Amino acid sequence: MGGPACSPTAVADASLVEAEPDTWHAPTLISQDGRKRSMRALVPPNRKAGSYLMVQMPEGDIRAEQLGENSIREGFHSFTYQLTDEDIMEHNMGGA
């Protein structure tokens, strides 16, 4: 196993997104309302609508986010998700 798609590299800068399009991408927290988080991740220029972007969430898990036409056109993908009880408990315990 291995290869670029298995690398735990978090991408935070646009030049790295272009250089390593198959790495996991670290989304930025845009807002939070209770348990609902809104996130945004840069989209590499080689992606097509319907393809997937692998994002490493702040909690450490990896999600496959399907890209739409707007994400391709705008160069970033926005999405929301709900924190689970487990996420909150781990955060309160310091990630233990």
pTM of the model: 0.68
| 49 within domain boundaries | yes
Is residue 86, in this structure, part of any structural domain at all?
Answer: yes
Domain extent at residue 85: 4-91
Instruction: Give the residue-averaged pLDDT of 30-55.
Output: 95
Give the torsion sign (CA, 48, 51, 53, 54).
negative
10 neighbors 56 (Cβ within 8 angstroms): yes
Residue 93: pLDDT above 70?
Answer: yes
Share of the chain above pLDDT 70, in %: 74
- Whether 11 is in a domain gets the answer yes
Residue given tokens 């790495």 in the structure block: 23
**DSSP, res 69:** H
| Domain contains 81 | yes
| Residue 96 counted as domain residue | no
48 pLDDT higher than 90 = yes
Please determine, for residue 65, whether its predicted confidence score (pLDDT) is greater than 50. yes
Q: Structurally, how many domains does the chain consist of? A: 1
The Cα 29–Cα 72 span in angstroms is 19
What pLDDT does 23 receive?
75
Domain annotation covers residue 22: yes
